[in-house]
């Protein structure tokens, strides 16, 4: 039976890209019985009744999956945050980074709208970019009015499945439209009353860009750390992950334990104070989480 990758899921149909083109498939009833939900990005085996229609027969194992947005086997996430309108928010960025790191997906930071900021604002953004690069992240500064800055993204897509994510209104769809002008992607203006954009993307679909597949997603409808435990959190901060084994106590939470390598690095300035403060906020959030039964 033929194999392929689900590139779109809509209204109970799964669109599978394969050697013959794209086949519209329905899921087998056994998937529901076994509580298996096929996701965009899944490698599947399907049975084709003809060149256009068929049924999913088997879903291959996944290396990761996201439930909101629903997508599987993601290689990397381009996190788009605007320099302004809405203002750059390192706390929210760190929340996204932790969620992406927890799924073992490579994050890439893209700061948009750099063409409409002042010289002073540009200096602040450059400082943030430098600090996140020091942590180990790739950071790109972009403007949809400057094609060269957008083209910097193209090499990242090569043979990868990439998720675009970030706060609503930061220009994710506009960046995709600049990369692929033939795409018809609905974009809305920022709501000046709320200071945020309207959700314009309604379903997950993989599109071809730069010899890779890119998902324009509806965004993360949940940014809660529902699957993270206290002992997992510091592994989602690369600067802590690199040195946590140097802590005296195994399972150190980097709060008040003696001979903590993270606290030492904080005192020495090699860990940014705001990143550590965000870590503490997330840690408390996980501790306060209601138990699941």
**Res 11: pLDDT:** 85
**Res 51: pLDDT:** 75
* CATH architecture of the domain with range 230-288: Orthogonal Bundle (1.10)
Domain 71-216 sits in CATH at 3.40.50.300
**Res 289: pLDDT:** 86
Mean pLDDT by 10 residues, the chain (293 residues): 92 91 88 86 91 90 87 95 94 95 95 96 97 98 94 95 87 89 59 40 80 76 83 96 94 94 96 98 93 64
> Does 3-61 match 71-216 in CATH topology?
no
The torsion defined by the Cα of 287, 290, 292 and 293, in degrees rounded to 10, comes to 130
Topology adopted by domain 3-61: OB fold (Dihydrolipoamide Acetyltransferase, E2P) (2.40.50)
**Res 76: pLDDT:** 96
Instruction: Please give the helix or strand (H or E) that residue 57 lies within, else none.
Output: strand 53-59
Looking only at the bridges linking them, the beta strands covering 65-66 and 43-48 are unpaired
Helix (H, G, I), strand (E, B) or coil at 30: helix
The domain segmentation of the chain, as residue ranges, is 3-61, 71-216, 230-288
Query: What is the CB neighbour count within 10 angstroms for residue 178?
Result: 20
**Res 202: pLDDT:** 58
**Res 219: pLDDT:** 60
Average pLDDT for the chain: 88
């Amino acid at each position: 039976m033929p194999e392929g990758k689900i590139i779109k899921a809509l209204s109970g149909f799964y669109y599978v890209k394969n050697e013959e083109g794209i086949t519209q498939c329905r899921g087998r009833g056994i998937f529901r019985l076994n509580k298996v939900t096929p996701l965009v990005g899944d490698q599947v085996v399907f049975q084709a009744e003809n060149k256009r229609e068929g049924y999913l027969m088997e879903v291959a194992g996944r290396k990761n999956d996201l439930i909101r947005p629903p997508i599987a086997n993601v290689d990397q996430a381009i996190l788009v945050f605007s320099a302004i309108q809405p203002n750059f928010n390192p706390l929210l960025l760190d929340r996204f980074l932790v969620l992406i790191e927890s799924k073992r997906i490579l994050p890439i930071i893209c700061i948009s709208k750099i063409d409409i900021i002042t010289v002073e604002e540009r200096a602040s953004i450059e400082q943030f970019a430098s600090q996140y690069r020091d942590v180990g992240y790739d950071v790109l500064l972009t403007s949809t009015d400057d094609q060269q800055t957008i083209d910097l993204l193209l090499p990242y897509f090569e043979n990868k499945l990439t998720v675009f994510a970030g706060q609503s209104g930061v220009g994710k769809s506009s960046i995709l439209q600049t990369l692929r002008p033939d795409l018809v992607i609905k974009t809305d203006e920022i709501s000046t009353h709320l200071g945020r954009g309207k959700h314009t993307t309604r379903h997950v679909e993989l599109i071809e860009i730069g010899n890779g597949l890119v998902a324009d997603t509806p965004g993360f409808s949940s940014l809660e750390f529902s699957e993270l435990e206290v002992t997992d959190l510091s592994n989602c901060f690369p600067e802590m992950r690199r040195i946590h084994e140097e802590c005296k106590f195994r399972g150190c939470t980097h709060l008040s334990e003696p001979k903590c390598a993270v606290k030492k690095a904080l005192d020495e300035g090699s860990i940014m104070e705001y990143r550590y403060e965000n870590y503490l906020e997330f840690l408390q959030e996980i501790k306060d989480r209601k138990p699941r039964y």
